[in-house]
Amino acid sequence: MPGTRTISVGGRTVGFVDYGPPRGAAAIWCHGGPGSRLEPAAVAPAAAAAGIRIVGIDRPGYGASTPNPGRSIADWVPDGLAVADALGIERFTAVGCSTGGAYALALAARAPDRVRAVVACCALTDMRWREGKALMSAPATAGLWAARDRDSAIALATELMGADGAKMLSQAEAAAPLPPADRALMEDPAFLAGMTAGLAEMFAFSVQGYVDDRLADGVGWGSFDVGAVRCPVVVLHGAADNVVPQAHARHTASIVPGASLDVVPELGHFSIVGAVLPTLQSLARHSASVGDGR
């Protein structure tokens, strides 16, 4: 596996992994919450073989990236662009899974000349949509959104997930049994090995990254203008996702200019990753046919 690299952005450390190939069509991967730069490791080899270069970046408070309390979704955009600059990547597709979907869209809204396309996978929508927010009732989401302050949110997240994330899977399973496609993935030895390896990175700063994600998305997408997105956007969702309701995908597709909705039968919140590479390949072919969409 490629090694972790770090850069300094605004006095903070930002960690990332470049999975290559160097001349491939670049995709900046915005991980879920919790997550880390290692999230795309499972799909990176097949992507590289298909000529797609994936770059995983730790958001503040995860992995090798130092926390940034009080950050908004749009506050992360300079981190993503700085990593792209450090790697000499001018144009790229932004991929965002779950929590990361909003960060991928923020990149496209704030840097329209840099982002070729967006793939938002099983992503939360704008929480200013009250109906959608009401559908997210789990303590690890709604409970943190309702917390009195950051310290209270950290205390609750630690109770629910464990400071090292040890309670995370049991907490998720108690909230809703996994659909068959997700359960099969969780029982795959290779996937479990990768997830175990990534757990320490997800909780490198205990639950700070996760809490700051929830405090950022709980107020909605007011820190960026989704109407400014000009590139192709695929809102990719698993029909069996019981973590983020399908209604979120439909709402996102309705508010992002020109977005297309792709609901994949049988796939769930985690198994949706299997549909990412075909989507990236399709977008790459589209980009080539229209001359990079400039």
Mean local confidence (pLDDT), 117-139 = 97
pLDDT interval class at 175 (50, 70, 90): low
Q: What is the pLDDT of residue 173?
A: 55
Q: What is the pLDDT of residue 288?
A: 67
Task: With a cut of 90, say whether residue 166 has pLDDT above it.
Answer: no
- Structural domains in the chain (count): 1
pLDDT interval class at 289 (50, 70, 90): low
Task: With a cut of 90, say whether residue 256 has pLDDT above it.
Answer: yes
Q: What is the pTM of this model?
A: 0.95
Structural domain of 214:
5-293
Using alpha carbons, select from 210, 217, 215 the residue that is nearest to residue 127: 217
CATH of the domain at 184: 3.40.50.1820
Looking only at the bridges linking them, the beta strands covering 12-18 and 52-57 are: antiparallel
Maximum alpha-carbon separation in the chain: 51
Task: With a cut of 60, say whether residue 293 has pLDDT above it.
Answer: no
Q: What angle do CA 70, 76, 78 make, to 5 degrees?
A: 130
Query: What does the chain look like in DSSP terms, one character per residue?
Result: -PPPEEEEETTEEEEEEE-S-TTSEEEEEE--SS--TTGGGGTHHHHHHTTEEEEEEPPTTSTTSPP-TT--SGGGHHHHHHHHHHTT--SEEEEEETTHHHHHHHHHHH-TTTEEEEEEES----TTSHHHHHT---IIIIIHHT-SSHHHHHHHHHHHH-TTSTTHHHHHHHHSPPPHHHHHHHT-HHHHHHHHHHHHHHTEEEEHHHHHHHHHHTT-STTS-GGG--S-EEEEEETT-SSS-HHHHHHHHHHSTT-EEEEETT--TTGGGGGHHHHHHHHHHHHHHTGGG-
18 contacts: CB under 8 Å, gap ≥ 6: 2, 5, 53, 55, 87
Q: What are phi and psi of 18, to 5 degrees?
A: -105, 110
Mean local confidence (pLDDT), 109-138 = 97
